Every structure is written in C-alpha cells, then in structure tokens.
C-alpha cells in the first residue's frame, strides 16, 4: 500500500451490494468483498464492505459514515446499472461532503448476476469489473454540474388527445406552448370516434371542449397543417424549425364561414378523417368542430390547380381570404422542452388477405365503422352495408387483425377487445342485428371493462373463441345457397371444438394499432430511440414512462405504444408535470461530461473542427488554436479520440479513467492470470446431474 500509491493518495471505499438475492444468488459477495480488500489494497482500497441493500437508507449511511470517519476520497459501489442508482450513491457521497463525481458504480447485476449462471465465473467477472471500477475512480476528478438556463416555452408535437392534454396543462400553469399538428385540425384519432368505451361517452362531447381550450388559450400557439422539419440544441435550449404548409388562405381574414367548402365543385373521397368512406371538397374543413376553424385547400384535387380555372372559392369568399399563390412558410421556435405525442396509425387490414378487406365490399375496417357509427359521419350514424341503404341482419366482428400475429405484429394492441365490444353494443343499438365476436382472448383489464364485457354478453352478442381463417363470398355447402350475396366467416370454434362457417352480412375487422409510418424518421429528427416496430422507448419502462433517453424530450400517448384514451391523457399530463417541474427550477443541472481543449498542447491542426455536429468547436484564428464551447458540447468524445496531439480531454470520461478501467478489468484475467479462468469454467461439469 506504499509503493503503488499515486500522488494524490486515493482512499477508496468498496461497497458490494447483495440486492437481496438478485446479486448474492449468483455472485459470492463476501468473496468479492474480501478479494477487493486483499488484491485491490495496493490500488488504494482502504475499506471493503458488503450489504444486503446498498441503496437503502442504512446502506447509504454506511458509505456516508466511512467517508466521514475513514476519510475516503473515492467510492466504488458494485451493485446495479448506473442508470438505476448512480444518482442515489452520488447523493450519499455529496451528503458526506465528497464530490458526487468521485463515486463510481459497477454493474454486477445487469452485467453479471442476471446474465450468468455459473457462480464461480460470475464471481470472477464481478471481481474483474470491480477492479476496473477502482482503477477508473482513482483517475476521477471532482466535477460540478453545468447550470444552464431553461427556456420556458415547450414544443408539443401531435395534437391528439395526449398532445392537447400536455399543451393545456403547461399553458394553464402559465407557460407558452407551441402545438404542432400535421393535419388541418387538432383532435387526432379521438375526433373520428363516436362513442368511447366502456362508458359510452360521446367522444366529440368530451374532446371538443378540450380542443377549444387549446385553440383559444393565450399561452398556446397552434401550428396546424405543419410539421417539425429540424431540431437542434439540447435540453433547455432547443431550436425547432416548423414548416407551415400553405392552406391557400389568409387566416387573419378567414371567418370560417364555410361558403368556400359549400361552393367548391370538386368532391373527393376523404381518406384521412372519413377513413375513405366519406367525401369532402377540395377546400374543406375536416369536421364541423375542427380547431382552428379555417379550411384547407388540397391542391392535388383542386380544379384551379389542375386546369388553371375555377376559383369558385375565391369568388364567393366575402372577406377575400383565399390566397391561391400562398407558399410554404418556415418558422423557427426556441423551446426548452419537447413532448412527442405523435400517436399511431391503424393497421392496414388489406395486408391480411384472407379477410378480404378491399376485395369484399362489406368487409369494413374498425376506423370505417367508427365513422359510420358517428352521427356526424358520412352515413349520419346509420350502420349500413357498402350500398349505403341496407341495414345488416348479421354482423361479424373480428378481433386481433394484425395483432398477436407473428406475420404482422406480435404485440397486443390493447384497445381492440374493448373497441370491438363497443362496436357490438352500437350495432345492437342501431340495427338490432345479430352480432358475432370472433376473439382469441378477451382482454378487459381496465376500470369497468369487464362489466362492459358482461353487459355486451347480456345484450345477446355471440362470442366465438377462435381466430378467423377466412372471410369469403364463395359458397361451399348447399344450405349456403340461401345466403346469396352474403359473406361466410370460416372459423374454428375452439370452445366447441368445431369448424364453423357462419353467414353474415357485414364483417368489421378490429385492426390493431401500429406506429406512424415515419416513426423512425421522427425519432431520428428528435434524437430519441424507438423499438424496431417504431414505438418510442421510455427512459425507464416502469419508473420513467414518459421521458426518453434524450434529456428534455418527453413522449406521451400512443407514440409510446398502444393505449386507450385515459392512459393517453394520463401520459400527456405526466409529461406536462415533468416539464413544469423543470421550468420552475429556472435552470437545469447538466452532467459535466464535456470536451476540454488544452490550448498549450493544441497544434491548431483543425482535424477536430469538422467532427462536431453541434458546432461546439470553433477555431481561434488569432491564437491559432481550437476552442470548445462547453454550452454547446454534448460530451460524445469524438473530438477527444480524434486529436492527434492528445490535446483534448474529456471530463467524466477522460483517457486516464477509461485506460484505467480497461487495465483493471483485464488485470486479473486473461493472459496475466491464465490459470484462474479455465478453473472457473471447469466447475459446472463437477456438479452432479
């Protein structure tokens, strides 16, 4: 302990956590504790302890006491991932007067006990990682978190119910919000629905007051028919560019009277709001309660844009608001935080070819059914076949279309069981038709969900357990001839153990939810990560469900994964609460992980100058040296690795720390200690079968 002691005399305390049996079940923690004292003593370890739960207040006090009594100046905790408890132990060090950054967490749970089974090998690996931590912490220096002011404004992307909730919550607290929506109106999918399960609230009745609040709120700026094209900066100080697509009218003059829509001669199918079963004009307001109330002109279907004549809208517009030469406009927004509430897409039922959607007229998707059952929809709330007049006598509702299916999406879309039962209720209510529900399992775990399931059964809906094989109009049996013009649902009734062919008039495919088609692209634009399907990944799936891996970027609603309206609202409000908590602190503490240039060693070669995507590196022409702006530097370390002179250092991840860690990890294994490893691996064969 004398010869190897470095100049600043590190006094390292080592703490090995059992995590109950999570670690102690696989790693011999007592052996690790003793090994650390014995083998790492020459590297500055002066105390080594183990404890059942280091993160408990008693465990933390153990560290604090040692810092005070033994004069520790470095702490290594061998426990869980730093993403779990780094803050906890840094806090303990700080309370005892030790700089938080002189604490190092070594993950022997996620990286050892949970991924290995051989106790001897796992213990050896825990020791190696611990040695890496000790040699790393020796090179650590005290750091102070960087304090940056936080911009009070928030950018909310997506104007569905989750985004509206987040925007209104923040605005109500007195802070500015920019709400960006790519459709002409806010409201999202919820605006398309008629009723909501299980309470059968009218969706419009509960949504439109929220939409009006958002639209009229003095703290909310709406950017509808717009998209975020670029985001730069970092938490507290983001810069977002928003493209306003032309509506072809001057919203300052437009009164929203609707005369243009009435007089427009171009009538086209509305694939968006009306889900393809209704019509709109070339200049249109997607639905009567749209917020903002201004219409939008669709140049792809406009006669003027096609032939150069018409201008009916312009002629009839009393305030003269139509602007057929309007161009896209880009605005730049400065915001401190971002909420991504970009929602979902409905699964395209055409992909399940045997169900005949798009081929058989009377096979409908759930979104089409929503519009049909909506009183303000294309059929005025009448549930009718594709001919527009015939009421169905028998309706089949097929669950899990595109969900829980290896060929499409493996996950459960969470809302379709309840949605399907809502459909069954609405069909019964509107038409008194016989309704079949074809399901795999009924998933009704929410508040009052199972009671609704019971109610729908009591209403006479017939539940058939089995995945539908095919929907066809090809009749096979003689008795089916009487069913001319009808559809046959071929299904294995798994409760009765029978193959059944059930004739129906109408089939409703309860399609699953999937990420927006550009989810990956959006994730890249905002610097966040999403799953392979495209759902945004939370910072922690349980404990931090609305934050993303990127500081200052939050997520809400179905962009995180399939969920119902109450959950979307809750996540929107949760994201708002997280942001409000930050705004009210007025400044943010950022991890002090930054590149620092030693001007005396910089040769001015400028190799690093083009490497920084955050423009944090500038060149001082007078001194002929490169400089790093710590406020812009994000701490990736690319320039550090690239500097041929070794003039750039990295706080928190310095070369000395990393090289120390590498040396520590390999010091007692591999080439240096070849006998230990084979012995460790040989053990499982000795265990009797």
644 binds another protein (CB under 8 A): no
Q: Which listed range, 44-52, 119-127, 506-514, 621-629, lies at the site for another protein (CB under 8 A)?
A: 119-127
Of 124 and 487, CB closest to another protein:
124
- What CA–CA distance (Å, rounded) separates 183 from 171? 22
Name which position in 170, 640, 647, 649 contacts another protein (CB under 8 A): 640
- What CA–CA distance (Å, rounded) separates 182 from 158? 7
655 binds another protein (CB under 8 A): yes
Residues in 529-568 that interact with another protein by CB under 8 A: 529-532, 537, 549-550
Of 372 and 519, CB closest to another protein:
519
Of 623 and 674, CB closest to another protein:
674
Return the number of other C-beta atoms located less than 10 Å from residue 487's C-beta: 22
- The 3 state secondary structure assigned to 18-61 is CCCCCCCCCCCHHHHHHHHHHHCHHHCEEEEEEECCCCCHHHHH
Burial letters for 296-305: b for 16+ Cβ neighbours within 10 Å, e otherwise? bbbeebbebb
Q: Token pair for residue 423? A: 């459909």
Name which position in 30, 618, 659, 684 contacts another protein (CB under 8 A): 659
Angle between the N-to-C axes of helices 82-95 and 57-70, in degrees from 0 to 180, rounded to the nearest 10: 50
Cα pseudo-dihedral 577, 446, 538, 84, rounded to 10: 90
239 binds another protein (CB under 8 A): no
Of 374 and 654, CB closest to another protein:
654
Strands 226-234 and 237-244: antiparallel
145 binds another protein (CB under 8 A): no
Site size for another protein (CB under 8 A) = 62
Q: Give the chain's radius of gyration (CA, Å).
A: 32
Q: Which listed range, 192-200, 352-360, 361-369, 639-647, lies at the site for another protein (CB under 8 A)?
A: 639-647
669 binds another protein (CB under 8 A): yes
Beta strands in 392-440 (DSSP E): 394-401, 434-439
CB 152 within 8 A of CB 583: yes
* Smallest distance from another protein to CB 517, Å: 16
Of 212 and 681, CB closest to another protein:
681
* Smallest distance from another protein to CB 520, Å: 8
* Smallest distance from another protein to CB 51, Å: 21
210 binds another protein (CB under 8 A): no
* Smallest distance from another protein to CB 640, Å: 7
672 binds another protein (CB under 8 A): yes
> Using the 8-state DSSP alphabet, how is residue 128 labeled?
H
Q: Which listed range, 128-136, 216-224, 297-305, 565-573, lies at the site for another protein (CB under 8 A)?
A: 128-136
Name which position in 268, 384, 632, 677 contacts another protein (CB under 8 A): 677
81 binds another protein (CB under 8 A): yes
- Residue 388 has φ and ψ, to the nearest 5°, of 90, -5
230 binds another protein (CB under 8 A): no
Q: Which long-range contacts (CB under 8 A, 24 or more apart) does 37-41 make?
A: 39/127, 39/131, 39/668, 40/12, 40/14, 40/130, 40/131, 40/134, 41/1
Of 427 and 648, CB closest to another protein:
648
* Smallest distance from another protein to CB 507, Å: 35
83 binds another protein (CB under 8 A): yes
- Using DSSP's 3-state secondary structure scheme, residue 247 falls into coil
Of 528 and 565, CB closest to another protein:
528
What's the longest Cα–Cα distance across the chain? 99
- Using DSSP's 3-state secondary structure scheme, residue 121 falls into helix
* Smallest distance from another protein to CB 512, Å: 19
Return the number of other C-beta atoms located less than 10 Å from residue 216's C-beta: 11
Question: Which residues is 175 bridged to in the sheet?
Answer: none
Name which position in 253, 611, 632, 656 contacts another protein (CB under 8 A): 611
Name which position in 200, 593, 631, 656 contacts another protein (CB under 8 A): 593
523 binds another protein (CB under 8 A): yes
Closest CA to 126 of 136, 139, 116, 135: 116
Name which position in 110, 470, 480, 518 contacts another protein (CB under 8 A): 110
Q: Which listed range, 71-79, 141-149, 281-289, 671-679, lies at the site for another protein (CB under 8 A)?
A: 671-679
666 binds another protein (CB under 8 A): yes
Tell me which residue has tokens 């490169």.
626
* Smallest distance from another protein to CB 149, Å: 23
613 binds another protein (CB under 8 A): yes
Angle made by CA atoms 265, 271, 274, in degrees to the nearest 5: 85
- What CA–CA distance (Å, rounded) separates 108 from 295? 59
Name which position in 25, 41, 82, 358 contacts another protein (CB under 8 A): 82
Give Cβ neighbours of residue 246 (< 8 Å, ≥ 6 apart).
Answer: 297, 323, 326, 327, 328, 329
Strands 434-439 and 394-401: parallel
141 binds another protein (CB under 8 A): no
Burial category of 412 from C-beta neighbours within 10 Å (exposed 0-12, middle 13-18, buried 19 and up): middle
Q: Which long-range contacts (CB under 8 A, 24 or more apart) does 206-209 make?
A: 207/161, 208/289, 208/291
31 binds another protein (CB under 8 A): no
* Smallest distance from another protein to CB 392, Å: 42
User: For the window 33-72, what string marks contact with another protein as x by the rule CB under 8 A?
Assistant: ----------------------------------------
Q: Token pair for residue 294? A: 């201004």
Q: Which residues bind another protein (CB under 8 A)?
A: 81-83, 107, 109-112, 114-118, 121-122, 124-125, 128-129, 132, 523-524, 527, 529-532, 537, 549-550, 593, 611, 613-614, 634-638, 640-642, 650, 653, 655, 658-659, 661-663, 665-667, 669-672, 674, 677-678, 680-681
């Amino acid at each position: 302990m004398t010869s190897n002691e470095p100049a600043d005399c590190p006094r390292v305390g080592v703490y090995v956590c059992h995590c109950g049996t999570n670690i102690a079940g696989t790693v011999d923690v007592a052996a690790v504790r003793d090994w650390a004292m014995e083998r790492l003593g020459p590297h500055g370890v002066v105390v080594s302890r183990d404890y059942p739960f280091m993160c408990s207040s008693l465990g933390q006090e153990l560290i604090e006491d040692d810092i005070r009594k033994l004069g520790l100046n470095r702490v290594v905790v061998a426990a869980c991932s730093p993403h779990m408890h780094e803050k906890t132990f840094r806090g303990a060090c700080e309370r005892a007067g030790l700089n938080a950054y002189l604490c190092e967490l070594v993950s022997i749970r996620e990286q050892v006990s949970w991924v290995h089974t051989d106790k001897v090998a796992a213990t050896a690996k825990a020791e190696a990682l611990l040695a890496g931590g000790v040699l790393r912490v020796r090179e650590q220096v005290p750091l102070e978190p960087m304090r940056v002011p936080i911009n009070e404004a928030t950018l909310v992307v997506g104007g569905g119910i989750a985004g509206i909730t987040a925007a209104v919550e923040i605005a109500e607290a007195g802070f500015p919000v920019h709400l960006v929506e790519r459709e002409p109106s806010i409201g999202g999918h919820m605006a398309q629905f008629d009723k909501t399960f299980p309470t059968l609230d009218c969706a419009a009745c509960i949504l439109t007051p929220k939409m009006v609040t958002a639209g009229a709120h003095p703290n909310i700026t709406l950017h509808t028919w717009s998209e975020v094209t670029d985001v730069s900066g970092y938490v507290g100080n983001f810069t977002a560019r928003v493209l306003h697509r032309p509506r072809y009218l001057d919203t300052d003059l437009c009164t929203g009277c609707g005369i243009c829509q009435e007089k427009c001669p171009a009538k086209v199918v509305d694939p968006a709001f009306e889900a393809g079963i209704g019509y709109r004009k070339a200049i249109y307001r997607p639905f009567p309660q749209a917020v903002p109330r201004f219409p939008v002109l669709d140049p792809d279907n406009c006669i003027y844009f096609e032939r150069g004549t018409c201008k009916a809208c312009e002629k009839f517009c009393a305030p003269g608001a139509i602007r057929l030469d309007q161009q896209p406009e880009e605005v730049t927004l400065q915001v401190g935080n971002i909420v991504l509430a970009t929602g979902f897409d409905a699964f395209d039922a055409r992909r399940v070819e045997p169900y005949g959607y798009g081929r058989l007229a009377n096979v409908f998707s759930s979104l089409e059914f929503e519009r049909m059952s909506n009183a303000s929809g294309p059929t005025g709330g009448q549930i009718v076949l594709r001919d527009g007049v015939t009421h169905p006598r028998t309706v089949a509702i097929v669950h899990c279309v595109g969900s829980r299916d290896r060929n499409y999406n493996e996950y459960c879309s969470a809302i379709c069981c309840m949605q399907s039962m809502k459909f069954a209720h609405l069909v019964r209510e509107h038409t008194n038709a016989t309704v079949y529900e074809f399901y795999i399992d009924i998933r009704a775990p929410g508040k009052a969900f199972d009671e609704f399931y019971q109610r729908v059964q009591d209403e006479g809906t017939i539940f058939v357990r089995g995945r539908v094989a095919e929907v066809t109009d090809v009749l096979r049996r003689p008795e089916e001839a009487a069913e001319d013009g009808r559809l046959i649902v071929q299904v294995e009734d798994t409760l009765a153990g029978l193959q059944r062919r059930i004739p129906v008039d109408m089939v409703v495919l309860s399609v699953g939810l999937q990420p927006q088609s550009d989810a990956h692209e959006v994730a890249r634009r905002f610097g966040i990560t999403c799953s392979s399907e495209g759902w945004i990944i939370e910072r922690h799936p349980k404990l931090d469900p609305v934050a993303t891996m990127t500081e200052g970027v939050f997520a809400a609603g179905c962009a995180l994964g399939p969920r119902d309206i109450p959950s979307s609202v809750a996540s929107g409000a949760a994201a708002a609460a997280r942001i409000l908590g930050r705004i009210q602190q007025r400044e943010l503490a950022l991890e002090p992980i930054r590149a620092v240039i030693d001007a005396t060693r910089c040769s001015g070669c400028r190799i690093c100058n083009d490497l920084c995507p955050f423009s944090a590196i500038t060149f001082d022409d007078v001194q002929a040296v490169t400089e790093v702006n710590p406020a812009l530097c994000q701490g990736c370390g690319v320039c550090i690795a690239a500097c041929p002179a070794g003039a750039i250092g990295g706080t928190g991840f310095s070369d000395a720390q990393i090289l120390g860690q590498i040396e520590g990890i390999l010091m007692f294994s591999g080439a240096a200690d070849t006998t230990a490893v084979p012995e460790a691996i040989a053990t499982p064969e000795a265990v009797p079968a």
